[in-house]
Chain A
Amino acid sequence: MNDQLSSSSLGDIEPELYAKRQKVYPREVHGVFAFLRTTAVMVLLGIFYGVPWLRWDGRQAMLFDLPTRKFYVFGLSFWPQDFFYLTGLLIVAALSLFFFTALAGRLWCGYACPQTVWTEVFLWIERKIEGDRPRQIKLDKSPLSTQKILIKGSKHTIWIMFSLWTGFTFVGYFTPILELGHKVLTLATGPWETFWILFYGFATYGNAGWLREQVCIYMCPYARFQSAMFDKDTMTVSYDPSRGEPRGSRKRGSDYRALGLGDCIDCNICVQVCPTGIDIRNGLQYQCIGCASCIDACDDVMNKMNYPKGLIRYTTEHTIEGKPTRVLRPRVLIYAVLLAGTFIGVLYGIAHRIPVALDVIRDRNSLFRETNLGLIENVYTLKILNKDNSTTSYKLWATGIAGLQLLLDQEIIEVSSGQVSEIPTRLQADPVDLQHRSTDIEFHIQSLDDETISATEKARFLGPLGLSK
């Protein structure tokens, strides 16, 4: 019986998943949510294209300098050792996604996802050049002509130029953008930079120009597990069937209730505006990216018909069923607490970051040596990383053995901002103070100006074999 069930349900799903793609021509839409999305697109793209040009203290404000393995974020600089914070930020991002999805559905997809944002720009360019939806459909159906080649050619040229600019900006986050711009203008970019500009440009062009909704439907993992984050109290874009059905066309101003019709006039505009080409009246579907275009479109139609707005609206499954909706439910509260906790933790961690790191490497060539005075000497190389924004002087000492002496080749340890200093160091101890062949010791470093800036690193001090017990 199980077999029968699964095969029949698979049969329903698979043709839909793997059907040949019908090109979607989203119809232009105006309204509250279209305005919100356009605003989000402008703000997000403004940030993306603008931020690499900002300066801070004579350097690029936001630079993930891969060639030197340093990340600059305005006044802060991060190192591979600070990877921990990146992990923290990623957890915050994931929890935000869960939180907002549980609360109000796929807000991310509809307003902020790069796929949506860039597709919106590409659609806008397409509309400016090819005209509105009916003109686009007509153009695609028309036979090949000079006119068609000119229109299509100029669209793709502008798309490609915009994509290349996007690729250039992207690479500008990883290598200083001013120098990169200069290199591009003089055609002197390095092979890797050239490659990544073209690669990212191509990805933008392909994803926003050609693949569009297929990225959301076939490639996005988030779309597939949305139902795990939704419940009946989640705000989603929904059609109200109790109000709309039975749908049907009617004359304007006719007494449609007497005709036995609902509020839906079956104009199909909600389907035409949908960027993924679905019919929202069939209920919640994983293809729905929550862009609310159909809400804007339907409200417009309802206005024209003099019907109340909101036949399609942001609402919950419970409301549609006529039951009360609970916004503050355990799921939302748990996500909120986890999110706030992680966020505060990451902020606290960054604010209280110790801007010095100490690494101890034992000399590999000799285990120890005996000095003229009969002391046992071990040699180490200390690597001191100054993560602060200014040059800092440090004092250094070692503990773990009575009378342990630390000898340096230089008097003061001074490390300039963002640099690693390698300090050859010798430790000397009297054999009578050594209990074992190997003794655990600790190196300590502390800033001369600020006692809170300090670090400790463990190491081993080796002595003669005769000490073994």
Chain B
Amino acid sequence: MEIPTSQRIIAILWPSFLTACFATVLFFAVFDPLELLSATAFGDTSRLGAYTIGFFLFWVLAAVSSALTCYFLRPTAGR
């Protein structure tokens, strides 16, 4: 049964989006981005900027995981 590409993309991006929302709230409730970044080269990033970048990093990470799950679920040719 072939799954249409659009639904495959939704199945990868959507769960990772939910996870990223959750992770962003949890992470930034504990860590203040200004304190985290002050010692690094990204010291002049604003909090709003850091939240946004953080959210997308979480999304990408989770999407990679979803994509790998999707990939490994495919039947192999046996060779």
A contact set with B: CB distance below 8 Å:
10-11, 14-15, 18, 20, 66-69, 80, 83, 86, 175, 190-193, 195-196, 218-219, 221
Contacts and interface: CB of A to CB of B under 8 A. Distances in A.
Interface of B is mostly: helix
Contacts of A15: 1
Contacts of B46: 67, 190, 192
Contacts of A191: 49
Nearest to B11: A218
A339 B25 CA distance: 24
Interface of B: 1, 3-4, 7, 10-11, 14, 18, 28-30, 32, 46-49, 51-52
Given A15-B1, A18-B4, A218-B11, 16 more contacts: A18-B3, A67-B48, A69-B32, A80-B28, A80-B30, A80-B32, A83-B29, A86-B29, A175-B48, A190-B46, A191-B49, A192-B46, A192-B49, A192-B52, A218-B7, A219-B14
Contacts of B11: 218
Contact of B4 (A10, A20, A86, A175): A20
A284 B28 CA distance: 41
Interface centre among B3, B11, B29 (most CB of A within 10 A): B29
A66 B1 contact: no
B61 to A, nearest CB: 19
Given A66-B47, A67-B46, A69-B47, A196 B52 contact: yes
Contacts of B51: 66
B48 A190 contact: yes
A325 to B, nearest CB: 35
Nearest to A199: B52
A18 B10 CA distance: 12
Contacts of A14: 1
Contacts of A11: 1
B76 to A, nearest CB: 19
A466 to B, nearest CB: 36
A137 to B, nearest CB: 23
A221 to B, nearest CB: 8
Contacts of B3: 18
A450 to B, nearest CB: 28
